[in-house]
Structure 1
Amino acid sequence: MHLHYFTLSRQSDFLHPLLSGSVITDSYTQRKNEWVIALSRTGQEAGVLQLCCDGQFPYILHLDHSRRGDNSTGVMEELVGWEIAGIGILPGERIIEITFRGREERLLLQFFTARSNFFLIDGAGDVINAFKNARAHIGKGYQLAERRLPDPFEMPPGNFTAVLQSASGDTIGKALKGFQYLSKPLIRELCFRCELAPETPVSALSGAQIALLADTCRVLRAEAETLPPRIYLRNSVPERFAPVLLDHLQGYEAEAFNDINSALRRFCFYMLKHRGVGQKQAQYRAVLERKIQSLQHALSQLQQRRHDPEKRERYQRIGELIISQPHLLEGSAAEIELTDYFDPEMPRIRVAVEPQKNAVENAEIYFQKARRYDDNARQYEQRRADLQGQLRELQPLLETLRESDSPKALEKIEQILKAKHLLGYQAEEAETYRLPYKVYPFKGYDIWVGRSARDNDTLTFKHAGKEDFWLHVQGYSGSHVVIRNPQRRENLPPEVLNHAARLAVSFSAAKHASYVPVIYTKVKYVRKPRKSPPGAVLPSREKTIFA
């Protein structure tokens, strides 16, 4: 019930004396879906209003302080300097309104789970700005839903009875959904207190039972306004929030709080941090186990196809023997018999030749086979090293998943799996997410090239590792280029660095120039200046190569 009307109403009442008369001094975001509004009163800091429009756990909280980080971005900065006149909830709506002294504009904070959003509205009711999807909303009128259900807490008992009996063909649980504010937890609590099963038909209720339901509704409303809010825990883990007593929750511990703000902060922060931990663990473990099994199978198959080094020596020897005995190719035979001078017993060996070619040309055929064997052997070793490297990287992740349920460790593993394309993006991310870089493998290294200026920021500051190498053409606009460095090497092979530099030039305004300086450094030495345009960064400890 963290998003119930009762909860939001009580929270707005709690916030009103804290916010009224305070002045907005800063407005920014530094985490996904989170908005921080810094406040002051009579020149002194007055804490911050922290808002979140997460699809599952949106919230509005007052915190004592919040430090703005280097990765923050300004949000609705036109609000800076405005004085808050008051805050309250719109009647019957899960929408909190903030008004400003001497201004017609107002903030409407909409808490509709997946459609949660925050709007700046002008005096005519049109959207001036929005926290999410601003382009889709700006200039349009803000419309409230017209459908309004009957209020069970305000109507006389006779009206309650009439509305309930109008759904005589339904069960109690379904009929009570026809009243405003009666969510599933409240319906279950009503039925529990009245000793009725939600599956009971309305037609089976007596007049006394209906009257008891109406009286219990009013008791719940009074509790929502006066009782300490509670978090219900199972095995010390928070699972439910409620501004009323939920006696039907058997087997739960109840933790009461002095104020609604503290309770919401504890519940929402915990749930955002730990939500779906068990499900994610199982999902990521299955992904890793499948990939590790696939790598082990590929390594086993590769070892079965291992090249015999004696074949390379045999091809090389035949080529040299053909050159040493050119007279044997004077005829038109497709096969000749060579004397093997490399063997002390000098046996005769038969080899295939192309009669239209001379001795040197036929020898070159066998030399090419020997060289091809060398190439295949190198590819074999490179492939084997790559498979073993992936196993060395993924197996510790699997052990971490088995031993730890830390959200921080889980988040790190999630990012690694996504970067390796082993894990897809969630539905919420899928609408707005696309891979912000192209991948160019080269000699066992993955080189990432940003797609656009905004993607450059995402690539460098969200996807690249701190020990990866970062490149950019000097003096020209262009893509950020990142060389992945999971082994945390201090130096890269020159040919890899040069190849990445050529990519940086190819994806820049200098692509037609003949000799271009390219700077490179580690990602940890690249920072984003505050309020700088997309793609603009400040590297340090950089070196220069020419491509």
Structure 2
Amino acid sequence: MPFDGVTLGFVARQLKEKLVGGRVDRVSQPERDEIHLLIRSQGENLRLLLCAGANAARVHLTAHSKQNPMEPPMLCMLMRKYLQGGRVTDVRRIGSDRILEIDIEALDELGEARTRTLVAEIMGRHSNIILRGADGRIIDAVRHVDADISRVREVLPGLPYAYPPSQGKLDPDTADAQALLQMLQGAGGKLAKALQGGIAGLSPQAARELAFRLTGQHDAHLDALNVPQTAQRLRALLDGLYDLQPPVLMVGEDGEATDVFPYPQLSLTGMPMREVPEGISHALDLFYAGRDRRERMQQRSASLHRTLKTHIERCEKKLAIQLEELENSQRMDEYRINGELIQANLYRLEKGMQEACVENFYLPDCPAVRIPLDLKLTPVQNAQRYFRLYQKARSAREMAAQQKEKTEQELRYLEEQLDDLRKCTQPEELSEIRAMLERSGHVRKVQSRVKQRKAQPSQPFHYRATDGTDILVGKNSVQNDRLTGEARGDEIWMHAKNMPGSHVIICSTKVSEQTLLEAANLAAYYSKGQQSAQVPIDYTLRRYVKKPGGAPAGFVIYTNQRTLYITPDEHAVKRMTLVSG
């Protein structure tokens, strides 16, 4: 659900309870449209996040810090000047709109107490964060809006602050039953649509939820309702709205939060929901942190995917040229034979002849063959020319064969990384793949001026078979190396045959046929053959798996293997218990 007026109402109440009386210890601006306030309040260190991003505008407490730029932006320095060291004196929502104001009293240069107001306007792509002085004038804002952008309302330093134009809707906190009745009578049609169109701050889902709580119906029409009674019940529902607890997250099949609501949604019965008893800020923090992480993953993954596809296409073109060179080099024996046949028939040839018609004694019955000659060369020189062509073709074939082998190795490596990229679920796994590509020279290494903390190693998929046996699945070459290296010698190791894929370890010395098949299905699913049928899966004891010295990450050789042929079953994978990863 969008960050609507209802959600902001819940946030405003929580912030008023937690922040009033607190001291602003620090102000930071990690992003162009995001402000963080570190506030010491009621014995706690709290971090308040205000974001004016078009797709993530919001205000709430957060447990997540972000890296700040080397030089703080001008807005950040102004906020530090006017707000740092001050006390929060009030937090309020303006009417029923998506505007939150935070009053902060701090001493000015003369030691006098002055109140400045931090205004968060949560309005989609028009969202803004504004610092307003005690005189009501704008000190600065995240987004400057001049007359070229809006002729209705300018937001510029030094101008008097004006609230956004009202939409003319009813305030859900103050509208009485009579006003609600008049609104419903003048609307007609579906109740949910009437609520959204007549009451300020309601998103479509918030309106649908109110309509469902009023009628128990998903598509209630006003024509079929007792409108005066509905208006009375609506007023009572709005009066108790902020008592509805707790906030909830809607979760997808992968367990990730796909939406957040300030209270349980009865209209979405059947949808998987998780309650968040810690409060609305914690629920919002979980949702947006997860979404930010997924978006960063998608951006970084897309960049690496493009890079890998580009290198793979180059390798494929290079390999095609090398194969053509190898095919052309097959004529080298013809060159040698031509030279030898000319040498054997020098007594019959003269300078200026266009061709030599001689018997090929290398073939049965010695058939006559015609060998093209250079008119300007003597017979001996023509023979030497063919020997030179032979030597050149032989050298080219040796070089092309070596280059072909190197290109095929590089292509296998890149396809392995592309397959690993598909299995990434955590940022550190992307970092491991990027680090490998940097070492191999396929991605330019970026030097950061900020000292990076040593990253914790990423973890493989940890599945549990039907009989409770643990099965580990590597997500990339680094994990595959670690997984196989740490496995016991008597545990079963699996891998898709002759294609990129995960190393799979069955963590048991006694393995049932069912567990073996479940592990083989994982090996097939997490391989390049995911969309294929009858994927060959080799398995053997870990003791028979060796890593050659100097081999790249994830490369092993193995013996004593057996092979299963598996058609990957995605539904079977999703039915298995995923312990972690």
Q: TM-score w.r.t. structure 2 length?
A: 0.55
- Structure 2 equivalent of residue 93 of structure 1: 97
Q: Which residue of 1 aligns with 2:515?
A: none
What do the CA deviations read for 1:209-266 (whole angstroms, capped 9, x no partner)? Answer: x422442354244232564433355776544432234222213445142433233223
Asked if the contact 1:99–1:106 (Cα under 8 Å) also holds between the matched residues in 2, the reply is yes
Structure-1 separation of matches of 2:69 and 2:362:
70
Q: Which amino acid aligns with 1:112?
A: M
1:355 Cα deviation from its structure 2 partner: 0.6
Q: Secondary structure at the match of 2:265?
A: coil
Identify the range of structure 1 (318-327 vs 378-387) with the bigger mean alpha-carbon deviation: 318-327
Out of 142, 158, 164, the residue aligned to residue 130 of structure 1 is 142
Summarize the alignment of residues 252-271 of structure 1 with structure 2, pairs less than 5 Å apart. 252-271=272-291
Residue 74 (str. 1) matches residue 72 (str. 2): yes
Q: Which residue number corresponds to residue 229 of structure 1?
A: 247
Distance 1:256 1:128, change over 3 A: closer
| Number of equivalences | 423
1:188-228 Cα deviation digits (max 9, x unpaired): 22332233645444334333xx4224423542442325644
SS of the residue 2:331 aligns to:
helix
Tell whether the 8 Å contact from 1:25 to 1:40 is kept in structure 2 after alignment: no
- Is 1:192 matched with 2:212? yes
2:354 to 319, 322, 334: 334
- Cα offsets for 1:390-411 (capped at 9, x unmatched): 333333543674xx57243675
- Identity between Structure 1 and Structure 2 (%): 17
Aligned residue for 2:129?
118
Q: Deviations over 1:401-443 (max 9, x none)?
A: 4xx57243675599799x99xxxxxxxxxxxxxxxxxxxxxxx
- Counterpart of 2:194 in structure 1 is 175
Structure 1: segments with no counterpart, 5+ residues:
421-443, 449-457, 467-485, 488-547
The CA deviation string for residues 20-71 of structure 1, in whole angstroms up to 9 with x for no partner, is 4523435142x796543334589x99443234455544443335684x7587
- Could you tell me which amino acid in structure 2 is paired with residue 173 of structure 1? A
1:61 matched residue in structure 2: 60
> 365-374 or 94-103: which moved more?
365-374
Equivalent residue, structure 1, for 2:234: 216
Which amino acid in structure 2 is aligned with residue 160 of structure 1?
A: L
- SS of the residue corresponding to residue 80 of structure 1 reads helix
Distance 1:77 1:227 in 2: 39
For residues 149-179 of structure 1, the C-alpha deviation after alignment (integer angstroms, 9 at most, x for no partner) is 22344323232222222223x3323222212
- Secondary structure in structure 2 of the residue aligned to 1:331: coil
Aligned pair in 2 of structure 1 residues 309, 230: CA closer, same or farther (>3 Å)?
closer
Decide which of 406, 411, 431 is 2:425's aligned counterpart. Answer: 406
SS at match of 2:215: coil
CA distance in structure 2 between the aligned counterparts of 1:338 and 1:445, rounded to whole angstroms = 54
CA contact (8 A) 1:57 1:271 kept: no
Match of 2:48 in 1: 49
Equivalence for 1:538: none
CA distance in 1, matches of 2:234, 2:394: 85
Question: Structure 2: how far apart are the matches of 1:363 and 1:121?
Answer: 92
User: Is residue 93 of structure 2 the alignment partner of residue 109 of structure 1?
Assistant: no
The answer (yes or no) to whether the contact 2:92–2:100 under 8 Å persists in 1 is yes
Aligned partners of 1:132, 1:397: CA distance in 2, in Å?
43
Distance (whole Å) between structure 2 residues aligned to residue 70 and residue 316 of structure 1: 71
Q: CA 1:380/1:445 → structure 2, altered by over 3 Å: closer, same or farther?
A: farther
1:27 aligns with 2:47: no
Amino acid at match of 1:22: R
What is the distance in 1 between the residues matched to 2:414 and 2:236?
60
1:178 aligned counterpart, secondary structure:
helix
The one-letter code of the counterpart of 1:12 is A
Number of the residue aligned with 1:7: 7
Q: Distance between the aligned counterparts of 1:362 and 1:199, measured in 2?
A: 93
The whole-number CA distance in structure 2 between the counterparts of 1:202 and 1:331 is 108
Q: What residue in structure 2 maps to residue 151 of structure 1?
A: 171
Q: Partner of 1:263: helix, strand, or coil?
A: helix
Conserved 8 A contact 1:58-1:113: yes
Structure 1 counterpart SS, 2:267:
coil
Aligned AA for 2:229? A
1:261-340 paired onto structure 2 within 5 Å: 261-273=281-293, 306-307=326-327, 310-315=330-335, 318=338, 330-336=350-356
Match of 2:411 among 390, 393, 401: 390
- Structure-1 residue corresponding to 2:488: none
Distance in 2 separating the partners of 1:328 and 1:84: 111
Show the 5 A alignment for 1:453-492: 459-461=446-448
Alignment-mate amino acid for residue 262 of structure 1: H
* CA 199–231 in structure 1, closer or farther in 2 if over 3 Å, else same: closer
**1:461/1:316 Cα in 2 relative to 1: closer, same or farther (>3 Å)?**
farther
Flag structure 2 segments of 5+ consecutive residues without an equivalent: 106-112, 454-476, 479-581
Asked if the contact 1:288/1:398 (under 8 Å) is kept, the reply is no
Separation in structure 1 between the aligned mates of residue 21 and residue 324 of structure 2, nearest angstrom: 76
Aligned-partner SS, 2:170: coil
Distance 2:223 2:229 in 1: 14
3-state SS, counterpart of residue 353 of structure 2: coil
Deviation per residue, 1:281-317 (Å, 9 max, x gap): 99x9999999989989997997698437553354366
The amino acid that maps onto 2:375 is P
RMSD in angstroms over aligned alpha carbons?
A: 5.7
Give the partner amino acid of 2:59.
Answer: I
Query: Amino acid of the residue matched to residue 190 of structure 1?
Result: L
Flag the 1:27–1:392 CA change in 2: closer, same or farther, 3 A: same
| Residue number in structure 2 paired with 1:162 | 182
Separation in 1 of the partners of 2:78 and 2:425? Answer: 39
| Contact in 2 for aligned 1:52/1:58 (Cα 8 Å) | yes
CA-CA distance at 1:333 after TM superposition: 1.8
TM-score by length of 1: 0.58
Match of 2:399 in 1: 378
Note the alpha carbon deviations across 1:301-351, whole angstroms, 9 max, x for none.
Answer: 9769843755335436656887998887743221135799999x9998642
Q: Give distance in 2, aligned partners of 1:308 and 1:132.
A: 67
Work out the CA distance in 1 between the residues paired with 2:68 and 2:25: 20
Paired amino acid for 1:11: V
